[in-house]
Structure 1
């Protein structure tokens, strides 16, 4: 049977792996199993494992291109190949709120107006420079893992694994908006106009409202190790 493999996000797949002779450990009450290797099924499961304590080797299944996931129907073969897997490393972001509390993000951080047909104004800055100021519906700051997601749908590029981020305005007022690829550590985003309610989303979870003249700051947290096996899909196709 070997060392147990944790499974998060799909009890049916856990049963398939067990039927194939894989020792499986499931978390209870949504907890991540204390296993050296964890199969994470879907984007939410990958983010859950990334935010949890520990340093397992994560096999993403049906979780998008950013983490080179494997199709669900190849998961048994992929688990069998974990011993020979190549490892990619992805950062977890610490997002510091205006009140000093900290949340964690794996895919992206988004500021967006909550009201239809309303725009706001945003400033993006680093520890060394002011990057840009623009009027838009919002702005998304995506990790390399998150870059093929919403950031790409608003014309941001797809990044290879790194500690850089894609910063992309959402429905900007300008006809030729800038997009930036920047070191993620020390980035900040602030609200410059008191015209609309702005929501903060962390990995697509609504966190809170961010008010006029308030800002969020992003820093690097821990890293997540993901497995790349023969069944892993390309990030760029």
Structure 2
């Protein structure tokens, strides 16, 4: 058996091809797995569980069907869909996880996260993230009418796109010190994250001469990236290419 990890699908009505690709994945590949982990930015944006868009309904039905087949799905919030709540997750048969969660996977300790908390060089984004994580502000936002929330979301997305065009690629990537702090702070063998859209398997040599790994998931708009893990190791696919890593027990 194996487990799947995906992230950064950014589902929206603007890309019906990606929606269909995800639905096909849930119907054809995911039922063969032990579990599915979605590490954030499943949706391009999320303004509340009460926003019953056609995309939200399609995804809900497909994930619930997967759950009914005995395959659990787990979700970590991304920077685009951090407002996904318990009500929607319950309808999907999906379990919400903490933003950084340690899981035991085939005998290995694995830290899973969306990845934006590792991008500490992007000071402007981290300041924005700190504000949006405030519980009182989220509750206040959800009290607004849907059309007002929609306008706010559109404005934030527009400003985000403009800001990213002026940022260097290095600033929007992970900070190596932030990565090393995770390995030093917890007894983990490797970590998995998305967010940067730069799929790769990075090896990290520790001071005790052991090797740890950082696995980065790609997006679905350009790369259709999927990570498959079993007892023998992992396979990371992106743009039709496959990276493999064997992991000893």
- Give yes or no for TM over 0.5: no
| Larger relative strand fraction | 1
Structure with higher Rg: it is 1
